[in-house]
Every structure is written in C-alpha cells, then in structure tokens.
A and B are shown apart, each in its own frame.
Chain A
Amino acid sequence: MQKLDQEPFLWIELRYAIVFNRDQLAFKTLFKTFYSDLYEFGYAIIKSAEPVEDIISEIFMKLWLLEDKLMEIENIKTYLFRSVRNNAIKYLERQHAHVDISEIIDFNYQYPSVEQEYISSEKLKMIQQVIEELPSKCKMAFTLVKELGCTYHETAAIMEISTNTVDRHIQLALRRLRDSIILKKINN
C-alpha cells in the first residue's frame, strides 16, 4: 500500500500494462498490494470470510474486464475500498431482507496486535475498547484514516460522505479517546 500511495505514477504504469499488454504480473501486483487491507476492511463489515473473498474476487474480475475503461479510474485505492464497502452492505441487505439494515451494520475492525512503542498493552486494550464503542460510521472513518492510511478526501470518497463529515467523525473519535484516557486515570 505504501508504494502506491507515494507514487501515483505507479498506478499509471500498472494501468497501462493491464490495458495494453494484458499483463498478468501487473494485475497481480495490483491485487497483492491491496488484498489484505481490502479483506480486513470487508471482514469488519460482514464478519464472515467467504463472502468477503468472493466480493474481492468479483471486484477484481470486473476490473480486468473493464479493459480500456480502466483508464478512467484516477484513484484506484478509493475505487477498490468503495467497491468493497458497497458490495459488503449489499450482501448484508440480501441476507437480512426484512430488517432495517442500519441496525445490523457495524464495523468491527480486527486491530492487529502489534507491539506498540511507548504504550503499555493494558492501555492499548483500553484504547481499542473505546474505539469499539464508537458509532459504526465514525469507526469506519477512523480506521480508514489511521489504519489504512487514507486521506480525509479519500475516506470521504470511499464512504460517499463529505470531507467535513469525515473531519467530524475523526474529531469525535479523538475526543472520546482523550476523555477515556483521562477518566481511566482518575478511576485508578
């Protein structure tokens, strides 16, 4: 992910190799660059492995069959994440046809248990607890920004909301985190 973020021209090159040379290696590079992150993102919405794998596979199949229409995709990252989000929600809607979908949709991102410098594991657990309790959309925005390296602009495009709304989601997440860190200290 890092490389594509920093080098927008890499996408231009990959895109050409896919469109003109039908280059399998270029296509695979694209796939592997995004696969894990798309999977974790989709899994956070659906919470079941197989449908997420199917959704990602379908998106990339469609991408390959777009042929030269692929040239119209400016930001491949937002295109992919938005597709996963929309298809995951559609999947849930199909699964729960007669229920208000907004009550079902939650976003439970599996935070990787990476050693955090400067932060004790106990504090980290508490932080993750707070994040888990955030409203679903706020959680998704925060995860896209912090864990998946999206800009506010990209996050807005993926979630189909305004950049201002993204900003408000992030502000809320930060405030809740800060408040609970202080509260925790008082309680101890």
Chain B
Amino acid sequence: MDQDQFLKLLNKEIQGTLTAEERLLLERLTTDNPDNGVLYHFIRNKYRTQPSTNEKADKAFDQLWHKLEDTDASGPVPKRDAIKGRYHLYLLAASLMIFFLAGIWWYSSRESSIEYKIQYSSGKGEKRILNLPDGSTVWLNGDSKLYLAADFNKKERRVKLVGEGFFAVAKNKQHPFIVSYNDSEVKVLGTKFNIRAYQDENKTQTSLVEGAIELKSKKNGETYRMVPGEKLTIASNGIVHPAKDKIGRIMVKRTALTVQTGEKMPSEALWMENKLAFEADPMSIVASKISKWYNRNVVIDNTELEKITFTGTMENYSLEMALKTILTANPTLHIREENESIILY
C-alpha cells in the first residue's frame, strides 16, 4: 500500500506536479524506508552535460558550417572567424558591408522622398484583391490605399499602406518586402499578416498569421520581432490623443491573436471572408469599422464610450441589424441620427 503510494508520488516528483503536502509525505516515506531512499535519490540526481564534450561539438559545428558554405548561395555569410587564405575576401566583404550599411542609412534617411508610382484604392464598403508584380497578393479592405514604390521589385519591394490590408507575401530573399504605414514599417521575407492603419483611428494594429516580420516604429525607434499568432498595437496620433504610459512613452501592446469558435482565421483577418469582426474593440473602433463597412458616417459623441468594448462576428448583417446587435450587447449605449450621420452616445 505504502509502496504504491511512494511510486505515485515519485512519478509526480518527476513531472514536477508534487504539492507541498505530497512532498512532505514523499520525504517521510524515503527517510522511513532506506530502499525507497535509494530510488528517490537516483531519480533526483540529474545528469548534467559535461563541459569536456564542447570541444567535440565545436569541431562538429565547424564541419557543418563548411558543408553549408559549399551548398549554395542561400548558405551562410561568414563573418569574423575568417579562415586563413581567404582573408582578402573577407576584407572585401567587410567593405562591401560598410557600403551596404551606409546605403541603408542613406536610404532610410531619405525615405520620405521615396517615389511611389502605382496606386490601388478601394472605396468605402468595397474590398479589392490585388495581384502584385512580384507574385504577392494583397487584400484591401474598404476605404484603403496601397502605393507601390517606383522601383518596386528592383532592390526591394517597398509599398505604403493607408487603411487596412492583408498581405500574403511571395517569398524572395533577395528582395525584402517592406510596408510603410503611419509611423511604422515592417520588413518581411515571405509571410502572411494583416495591417490596420486608418488615419482616422487612434492606433495601428499589425497581426502576424504566419512566418516572421520585423516591425520598426519611427515613433520610439524600437524594433519589434513578432511571432505568428501575435498582434502589436501602437497608439498613433489620431483624433483621440495617443495613449501614453506614465513616463510618457507611446503605448505599445503585444497580444495574442484570438480565433473565435467556428472560425478558421483570427478575427483580425475575417474581413477577407466578408465577415465584420470585432475583437474587444472600443466603441471608437466599432464606429469606424461600421462606417467603413457600410459606407455610412458613424461617430461617437462621448469619450466615455472608449471604455465599452464589443466582440463578435457579423456575416451578411444589414446596418440596422449590426447596430441593434451592438446596442443589445451594451444596454447603456444610445443612438441617434443627425444629418445622415449615426451618432453613438
């Protein structure tokens, strides 16, 4: 009896799920019975990697790296630990690197002067699918614009977004894909993500569905690396004051994307499936989403409404149904119509 209990407790000890009470009991069972003690100490004594094996690992890694260098262009770009005899090559590479870095600096410093040539736009309540010349696809939500740089796909693939777009970027390592919007830009290799950056909303939201992106905020100079399933919200200078924290920094919030039950995509990307989705959106965003979706002017007339949020997905709802649903969910909310505008208060 005691023995089975001992084994059960030992199993829990291995899994690290022992409660304080159970630990006391286990310790008593081991001190009372020296046989149990032997097994207990054996289990607890964990092996640690010996440092002597590191030399072997170093050697194995060097061999591996050589093989990678021989494979192809996508192989490694060796840096400091230069191999003898190739020294001049590395010097050359280093000076090229300096040119390259200087180029990036120059390029980003003159960024405001980037010439955008092609423009795609969608009207309010309209959605568009764009096939870009590099094979990437962009879905534009209502009232949005996408600009392509004049030299798109030459050195890099630079675009500018105003509004909301979902990007499925074709993979091309030689030509990074860069999206500028509001005060941010993201650099990607090949991935799927959604950007919501309307100029009349007080924040921008970047949601990564697949792959990897690097987001640079010009507001605070920070770079954020995002993982799939993550959303980054940055407060911007909209109509409402940008939210700042106690020491005056711009608010940046990292959250996980949520997929509502029955849906395949996170709420942030459901607009592509013609579904109007809200994910804990404050009323200003709710109003903005509705006015862009139905092409009607919807505004809020009470800053207190920022504290009320709404979550839900609507498919084939009329404007009346949509408003009624939101009002039912928030009984404190009122509505009135004034000169073609819908006002929430």
Contact = CB atoms under 8 A, between A and B. Distances in A.
Do A and B share a complex? yes
Interface of A: 1-2, 12, 16, 19-20, 22, 24, 27-28, 31-32, 35-37, 39, 53, 56-57, 60-61, 64-65, 67-68, 71-72, 111-112, 114, 116-119, 123-124, 127, 145-147, 149, 151-152, 167, 170-171, 174-175, 177-178, 181-182, 185
Interface of B: 3, 6-7, 10-11, 14-16, 35-39, 41-43, 45-50, 53-54, 56-58, 60-61, 63-65, 67-68, 71, 74-79, 81, 171, 173, 189-191, 210-212, 214, 225, 227-228
A118 B37 CA distance: 8
B49 A67 contact: no
Given A19-B212, A71-B211, A114-B47, A53 B35 contact: no
17 contacts: A20-B212, A24-B79, A24-B81, A31-B60, A35-B60, A36-B53, A67-B74, A68-B190, A68-B212, A119-B38, A146-B46, A147-B46, A167-B11, A171-B11, A174-B7, A178-B35, A182-B35
A111 to B, nearest CB: 8
A28 B67 CA distance: 14
B189 A64 contact: no
Contacts of B7: 171, 174-175, 178
A170 B78 CA distance: 45
B211 A60 contact: no
Given A53-B60, A57-B60, A152 B15 contact: yes
B15 A151 contact: yes
Contact of A36 (B42, B49, B76, B173): B49
B38 A65 contact: no
What are the 4 closest A-B residue pairs judged by CB atoms, nearest first? A35-B57, A118-B41, A36-B53, A71-B212
Contacts of B210: 72
Nearest to B33: A182
